[in-house]
Structure 1
Amino acid sequence: MAVVLAGAGAASAHEFTCDKRVQVKGEGQGTPGVAPRVTKFPATLRFHYKLRNVHPKGESVADLVEDPLLARYGFGTPFPTPMAVGVGDSRDATFELKLDTPEACQALAASDGRVDDSFDSALRVKWALGETQCAARVTCCEPFVDCELTCPPDDPGCVETPSPVAPGPSRNAGFFKVHEQALQQCLAGGGLDLGVARVESLEQALGLLWASPGLDRNGGVRTETDARRFELAREALVSTCNERLFGASEKRGRALDEALRTLRGASEEGALERLVRELGRHNDAGLGKPLPGGFDAGRATPAHAAGIATDPLEPGRP
């Protein structure tokens, strides 16, 4: 959207529009209106910029053209300025950015200040009496979920990771909080140290599943970090039950191991939020798959389950 300041005379008026697009090189044009998702690494992102003079009578002069997010990669100024563009004319620029690993993509996603798997790269164009911006979004795959590492043709020693395997059956917190029999079968495998609590009994497990992450045992409001730790402990409990009851998953198991290490030690809020999303995605991945033959989850008993749920949090635990 362009912003033009009042008071410009016809002789000195300028006006631009800009367009910015990004493509994962080698993966086609993608779906219009949908941010490309990077899943195979190494990956090359190709940024394309178009700056057009839309003033009807005269040339426009851009005094500043910048892309702050890409400045660290040497492409913070895709066009030299000042830059004059004639009536009806446009200027184009391209830039390619290589991301070797999923972690590099996630680091770029974190650099825009939001805790998510996407980043927005915005181009700002400024002239004497106005400015405009345009942006493009890229989404990164989630490590251990849908990321693949492919080998470059000049590296014969490289070993490619296998393509993601279709997930087996799984169930989420909503299932386990009302199916006491299934939850009891999970706990038969032993108690769980989840950092915020140690779960030994059916009642304690139900307490973790039924409690509000935002409120403590006395009804007080938890800090945002404590609420995230509680949510992660809940997803870790559910992931453990999925592993024990329905079969181990390498990717879910790796994410679960990271979550348990995080819960038992110091952790940043950004890492907690990422792991909550990651484990939640794993727990939801197999909801449409039938449970293994011979497994009896029992009937759903929400009222009874909620009635026997007890607070599993231990005094003095973070």
Structure 2
Amino acid sequence: MQRGWKLAAMAAVLGVAGTARAHEFICEKRIQVKGESQIPGSAPRVTKFPATLRFHYKLRNVHPTSESVAQHVEDPLLAPYGVGSPFATPMAVEVFGARDAFFELKLEKPEACQALAASDGRVDEHFDSAFQVKWPLGETQCAARVTCCEPFVDCEMACPPDDPDCVEPTPVKPDLSRNAGFFKVHEQALQQCLGSGPLDLGVAQVQSLEQALGLLWASPGLDRNGGVRSEDDSRRFELAREALVSTCNERLFGASAKRSRALDEALRTLRGGSGDEGLERLAKELRRHNEAGSREPLPGGFDAGRATPAHAASIAADPTEPRRP
């Protein structure tokens, strides 16, 4: 009896394996920005709005002798836009056969592209849309990346050709600003910023040039002894750094309402001591504002002083470590 049971079990296992071999797919996914040329092999970049993204899905049966049946197909990132499943399932595809599906998504403004970029769980300018295919005891996926322009930096708004009443908006000139790299080597400019008063950045009180330079020169991930900061401390450090730079941009060069609102939110988050939700997003937003106008010329009469990287690094004192001499 025991031997017969083992043979039956082995036959069942072999039967399942045979079923698995009877289905096999590969998939392809491509995204094109309609009306835009694209370098072959590169991710499309959305810079002009309104923009229409054209998604092309291809599902190919690569089993040499049998049809393959797709039981489940899904594009989770695009489910809120009506294309969660580009194909009706279950779907049988004959030997050497293929199926194609197309979907178009219109993005009215840069913020719509940025919302997609944020929805994949990573804080960057890209979104990776993965197409998943499952069949009996097997699955595969293919993905395509789209890069969004940065609002108020390199995005263009254009009127659709069929709207005679549309008026092309005047290009938005970015606010004058400088990034962290500028302030960490221009001691004179940084000192002028601190001349307006100390900064409460939540993780530290910045009252001196040495402390401000410490925030700009220190590693967000490591303390001065080489110890590893926690992930939450590291994110707070990075946000505090960008908040310092943004404050100096505001004090020295003025600020737009958008930059002021982002800075106010960042300071409230840092001073509130809440969890790490939003820290990475806020740091990215402030960094974008700090970089946006870095190519604009400094105003007449403003003297930033010469760059002194070696001296600036030598006097930097991390303000998050109060016992450091």
> TM-score per shorter chain, which class?
0.7 to 0.9
Corresponding residue of 2:269? 262
Whether the aligned pair in 2 keeps the contact of 1:177 and 1:302 (CA below 8 Å) is: yes
What's 1:21 paired with? 30
Percent sequence identity over matched residues? Answer: 76
TM-score (norm 1): 0.75
**Equivalent AA in structure 2 for residue 232 of structure 1:** L
Deviation of residue 49 (structure 1)? 0.9
Residue type matched to 2:134 in 1? K
Task: Report SS of the residue matched to 2:229.
Answer: coil
Distance 1:268 1:39 in 2: 34
Confirm whether residue 205 of structure 1 aligns to residue 212 of structure 2.
yes
Counterpart contact for 1:120–1:136, Cα < 8 Å: yes
Within a 5 Å distance, the mapping from 1:50-61 to structure 2 comes to 50-61=58-69
Take 2:41 and 2:264, find their aligned partners in 1: how far apart are those partners? Answer: 36
Asked if the contact 1:144/1:252 (under 8 Å) is kept, the reply is no
Match of 1:3 in 2: none
Following superposition, the deviation at residue 185 of structure 1 comes to 1.8
How far apart are the structure 2 equivalents of 1:84 and 1:55? 12
Mapped partners of 1:261, 1:39: distance in 2: 32
Verify the 8 A CA contact 1:198 1:314 in the aligned structure 2.
no
SS in 1 for 2:197: coil
Aligned pair partner of 1:178 in 159, 164, 185: 185
Aligned to 2:284: 277
CA contact (8 A) 2:186 2:304 kept: yes
1:194 corresponding residue in structure 2: 201
Structure 1 residue 142: Cα displacement? 4.1
Q: Which of 91, 94, 97 in structure 2 is aligned with 1:89?
A: 97
Q: Secondary structure at the match of 1:69?
A: helix
- Structure 2 distance, partners of 1:46, 1:16, is 23
Query: Which structure: greater helix fraction?
Result: 2
Corresponding residue number in structure 1 for 2:145: 137
TM-score, length-scaled by structure 2: 0.73
Question: Could you tell which deviates more after superposition, 246-255 or 27-36?
Answer: 246-255
- Aligned in 2, Cα 1:265/1:45: closer, same or farther, shift over 3 Å? farther
Shift of 1:85: 2.4
The letter for the 1-side match of 2:32 is Q
Partner residue of 1:35 out of 29, 43, 52:
43
Structure 1 residue 76 corresponds to structure 2 residue 84: yes
Q: Which runs of 5+ in 1 are unaligned?
A: 1-5
Which blocks of at least 5 consecutive residues in structure 2 are unaligned? 1-15
| Secondary structure in structure 2 of the residue aligned to 1:240 | helix
TM-superposition CA deviations, 1:146-166 (whole Å, max 9, x none): 45667888897x998643426
1:236 counterpart = 2:243: yes
1:29 deviation in Å?
4.6
| Distance in structure 2 (CA, Å) of the matches to 1:298 and 1:312 | 24
Q: Compute the RMSD of aligned alpha carbons.
A: 4.0
Query: 2:132 aligned with 1:124, yes or no?
Result: yes
SS class of match (1:264): helix
